[in-house]
Chains A and B, each alone.
Chain A
Amino acid sequence: MSRLQESLRNFLAVEGVRTAALIDVATGMIVRSVGKPDPDLAATAACVADEARAARSALGADSSAGDLLEISTVTGGRLHVSRILRSWPGEGLLLFVDLERGKSNLGLASLRISQLAPAVLV
């Protein structure tokens, strides 16, 4: 059993979570994912990595890569919470969690994800 998959499975216990994935920010590659199969996940992962890079750029040249902690996106039916786990090597690793908006509360989901996130890479 993959250690990463084991730790990512913990996120499925959070109310409303459909998918949890670890994404390489530099390449947009899904390193590991768990949850409901989603044929669009690869494309979503690449977009999420682009968002993280764009957010870092928006923070300005004076900010360090570690300044960006989380990006939340709210759509009509979904909540996307992307949390930076590492800022190195390369551009780091990002945890992406896709939630059903109707079954989730963004604040609570963000809090629960931030509590579980540190254990992913340990």
Chain B
Amino acid sequence: METTGYVDGKLADVLREYDAARFSGVLRVAGQPGGTVYLTDGRISACETSGAPSLEVVLLRSRTVSEADWDAAFTAAAVSEREMTAELVDRELLGAGEVEALLRIALADAMFALVSGRVDGWTEAPAADCLLPLAPAARSGWLLAEATRRGQVLASFPGPAVRAQDRIAAAPGAAQAGRVLGRGQDELLALADGRRTVRDLAFALGRGLFETMLQLARMRASNAVIIIPYSKEPPSPGKPAGAVPDGAADDQTVTGLPRRRKDRQPPLRAGEATRRNFAASIRMLRPRSEGNPMPDGT
């Protein structure tokens, strides 16, 4: 990707410059997670990034709008060349004020994911349409201030700040009967398997990235989850991230599940030993008239 900017945290300055210059167009940001920022007269009308769930994901996963209703609205908007937001309002799936509020929340979350990630560079592109633009668009200054505030909130929790790529495991005993978790924490705990990242959980549950990070920071503080810091090496398939190191006294992962070992044969399931013996007997009875050697060479 050819970059027109060279950044080390300068994206915020550039967005402010675009605001002052009343730039209209698209900014494709390279990096991790990277994304696309849609600008109208210097203001930001949308941000698409793989780092945070879009409003579509939030509405569908939270079942605020059913998939059937969404598909019908999408088709009608495409056929009549109307904006999807207008279609959602006309079909009384959402109120006009509600759409604006939810779009601002989703936009702030996407911008937080974008600017708090790694930015390698960016390219300008001509103005383009996006599915759910915010109208009126938001000032970049407000979005950047909100992203800064979010970073400060996460940093205020004890321990290292939660990051989008960190993996989450349920703490031992977190799911004990009778333990009361905060609202929305049960679902997070059920999906915290030591392999899913914070971002994965946000997408799976249709919640904002920051909302998920904040909830997990609270859950870590109450010893409900363990946050496994991001490392570039993905966890090996046979060993859940955060597992107790080899040689440890107990033979369980931090999630309380039996730890899988490469050098250990899995225990036979019920009936499996009988099936294996039966298969061996069948092989012994197989005719050898065609001269096919037996496995033992006879």
Instruction: Tell me the A residues contacting B by CB distance below 8 Å.
Output: 1-4, 7, 22, 24, 26-29, 31-32, 42, 46, 53, 56-57, 61, 65, 86, 88-91, 93, 120-122
Contact = CB atoms under 8 A, between A and B. Distances in A.
Contacts of A90: 58, 62, 105, 184, 207-208, 211
B136 interface: yes
B62 A89 contact: yes
A89 B64 contact: yes
A89 B97 CA distance: 15
Chain B residues touching A, range: 20 to 34
B96 interface: yes
Interface in B97-120: 97-98, 100-102, 104-105, 108-109
B182 A53 contact: yes
Given A1-B136, A4-B100, A61-B180, A121 B95 contact: yes
A89 B61 CA distance: 9
Interface in B65-106: 95-98, 100-102, 104-105
B105 A91 contact: no
Given A4-B100, A24-B105, A93-B101, A122 B183 contact: no
Nearest to B150: A27
Contacts of B59: 89
B243 to A, nearest CB: 32
B53 to A, nearest CB: 10
Contacts of B184: 90-91
Nearest to A43: B149
B104 A27 contact: no
Given A29-B149, A89-B58, 4 more contacts: A1-B136, A7-B97, A26-B215, A122-B95
A17 to B, nearest CB: 18
Contact of B214 (A4, A26, A56): A26
B7 interface: no
B206 interface: yes
B124 interface: no
B251 interface: no
A91 B214 CA distance: 12
Nearest to A119: B97
Nearest to B142: A30
